Amino acid sequence: MERERESEPVPESTREPDPSRSSAWPLVAALGIVAAEAGVLFGLVVIAVAGVLAVGASVAGMLHETGYAATPWRPLRLIGAVVAIASAAVWIAVAPAATPAALADAAATDGVAVRAAVVLGAAALLILAGFAGPVVSSRGRTGGRNLEG
């Protein structure tokens, strides 16, 4: 009877976590949030863009790593689109009108509008990376140029 209990499989919820399967994505996401917030708050464009890119990439990586997405590229495009819509909405909300001239004027004179434009640019980079990633990664697997030799 004792042997039967020992050979029974241990339920997944009661297993000890495997330390070799820890992920670095949460740390990257946390640092990205801090960088994005500091960059937007203090008007540091490079830090804001890097923070938005780090947050987007880490969330997409976490979704892929946990099995919610087959690849990280589609979630990366989706995250970029959500961030782009939110930042465009903020930019339009602070502009006097939704015309190109009014948006450009708001970006030149309003601090919130210029910060929204910076985040919109970072979101565009996330979307671009989401479309370029599959092309670049498939080229590396199908016999593209070997960079090592």
**Per-residue pLDDT tens digits for 50-107:** 999 999 999 999 999 989 999 999 999 999 999 999 999 999 999 999 899 999 999 8
pLDDT of residue 15: 46
Encode burial over 65-82: b for 16+ CB neighbours within 10 A, e otherwise: eeeebeebbbbbbbbbee
- Does residue 13 lie within any of the structural domains? no
Radius of gyration of the chain (CA): 22
Give the residue-averaged pLDDT of 13-39. 80
Confidence of residue 138 (pLDDT cuts 50, 70, 90): confident
Taking a C-beta distance cutoff of 8 angstroms, is the pair 42, 16 a contact?
A: no
pTM over 0.85: no
- Does residue 78 lie within any of the structural domains? yes
- Does residue 127 lie within any of the structural domains? yes
pLDDT of residue 38: 96
For the record, the structure tokens of 24 come out as 């670095």
- Does residue 29 lie within any of the structural domains? yes
- Give the range of the structural domain holding residue 81, as residue numbers without chain letter: 25-140
Residue 62's contacts (CB-CB under 8 Å, 6 or more residues apart) are: 23, 25, 26, 29
Q: Does the pLDDT value for residue 25 go beyond 50?
A: yes
Q: Does the pLDDT value for residue 11 go beyond 60?
A: no
For the record, the structure tokens of 107 come out as 């970006």
- Count of the separate structural domains present in the chain: 1
